[in-house]
A and B are shown apart, each in its own frame.
Chain A
Amino acid sequence: EPEVTQTPSHQVTQMGQEVILRCVPISNHLYFYWYRQILGQKVEFLVSFYNNEISEKSEIFDDQFSVERPDGSNFTLKIRSTKLEDSAMYFCASSEPLAGSYEQYFGPGTRLTVT
């Protein structure tokens, strides 16, 4: 069964460093998303991406964040200068709205630890 994959599973970085989180969405999907979940808190939307551009972003997604689809398979989230409060699980999701169906399928997540 097709699935969303994410790498790395765990990333440790120092405050102020840049990190890139990688995702391979399900191959025929057209919409891509990043969410994050701080330990013990809700899953929160960060950004959605369609047709090579951002379609929606949350207040969390400030100038320190960027997304890119560098080729036909990968979807990346970059954090330019990490802060302690960026420590969280980051989930990539994708969807393919066939016949009005908008289910979003999530990857296993990348645990980001900022020290």
Chain B
Amino acid sequence: QKEVEQDPGPLSVPEGAIVSLNCTYSNSAFQYFMWYRQYSRKGPELLMYTYSSGNKEDGRFTAQVDKSSKYISLFIRDSQPSDSATYLCAMSFGGAQKLVFGQGTRLTINP
């Protein structure tokens, strides 16, 4: 079983739709959960960062962590064409330790 699993997509939705992106993980020791956005041939850009379970909101983005189900989600409201990118989930065991990434989901928002 892979440590972090993420559907690679591609996912294509119309502008204005609510987008739901998800990852599952196998190791319950993960404590910190992140979502990154990556444009083609660019570096990952940090979007959301959460510790342990719960929700966190930042503008149009909401991150959810359900540690009991080992499941994390990113919701994008009022999606824009500029949101078209690959979204990577990442997690760490704690402190300043290494990040373990999912495969990334390629998202396209159609005008």
Residues of A bordering B, CB below 8 Å: 4, 6, 31, 33, 35, 41-45, 48, 50, 55-56, 58, 89, 91, 95, 97, 100-109, 111
A45, B46: Cα distance in complex, Å: 16
A108, B92: Cα distance in complex, Å: 21
A84, B31: Cα distance in complex, Å: 36
A50, B98: Cα distance in complex, Å: 12
Cβ-defined contact, B98 with A97, below 8 A: no
A92, B49: Cα distance in complex, Å: 19
Cβ-defined contact, B34 with A42, below 8 A: no
Residues of B bordering A, CB below 8 Å: 32, 34, 36, 41-46, 49, 51, 88, 90, 92, 94-104
Q: A91 to chain B: which residues have CB within 8 Å?
A: 43-44
Q: B94 to chain A: which residues have CB within 8 Å?
A: 102
A109-B42, A111-B41 known; A43+B88 contact, CB < 8 A: yes
A33, B96: Cα distance in complex, Å: 10
A100-B51, A103-B34 known; A43+B98 contact, CB < 8 A: no
A106, B42: Cα distance in complex, Å: 10
Cβ-defined contact, B96 with A48, below 8 A: yes
Cβ-defined contact, B45 with A45, below 8 A: no
Q: In the complex, how many angstroms separate the beta carbon of A50 from the nearest chain B beta carbon?
A: 7
Cβ-defined contact, B96 with A106, below 8 A: no
A95, B92: Cα distance in complex, Å: 13
- Specify the chain B residue showing the minimal Cβ separation from A103: B49
| Given pairs A41-B103, A102-B32, A107-B43, 14 additional interface contacts (CB within 8 A) | A6-B43, A31-B96, A43-B101, A43-B104, A44-B101, A48-B96, A50-B96, A55-B96, A58-B98, A89-B41, A97-B95, A100-B51, A103-B49, A106-B36
A110, B32: Cα distance in complex, Å: 27
A48-B97, A56-B98, A107-B43 known; A101+B49 contact, CB < 8 A: yes
- Specify the chain A residue showing the minimal Cβ separation from B34: A103
Cβ-defined contact, A106 with B43, below 8 A: yes
Cβ-defined contact, B95 with A45, below 8 A: no
Cβ-defined contact, B41 with A106, below 8 A: no
